[in-house]
Amino acid sequence: MVVGQRAELDVDGRRYDLEVSKVYPNVQASQFEVDLRFVGEAPPDIRRGQTLQMRLVLGDSDSNAMLLANGPFFNDTGGAWVFVMDHNRSVATRRDVELGRRNSNNIEVVAGLMDGDEVIISSYSNFITVDRLFIDE
């Protein structure tokens, strides 16, 4: 999270743009606080301290980024590696990856995966020391 990062808010069927104006350094229970300011017009009925759901924009909408669904695997590996399925979907092999920005839905893939790779995103807690999973359907 950086100052200037964009966010979007939908209110009454209309989208409003915001940007991060301040990031507070304290992190508690994996949560942190930021201040946001509207870029342009603000919704007419918004109040200070009101809780609203917003979407943070990971990057420019014009940029092409490979995204991986956010899942429990991330907590088990810290995003350092994933299990990638083979073309027959019968074996998943451990592969090092470099992951970037993350939101509640997606994680940006910086390196280690190719377009079309299928990744297991469920928990890896029982497979931390395993290099290969054999899938039996």
Q: Quick one: which of 21, 53, 56, 24 has its CA closest to 36?
A: 21
Q: Indicate if the pLDDT at residue 125 is higher than 90.
A: yes
Q: Indicate if the pLDDT at residue 93 is higher than 90.
A: yes
List the domains of the chain with CATH numbers.
Answer: 6-56 (no CATH), 66-134 (2.40.420)
* Cross-strand partners of 35: 22
pTM of the shown model: 0.59
Mean pLDDT of 100-108: 85
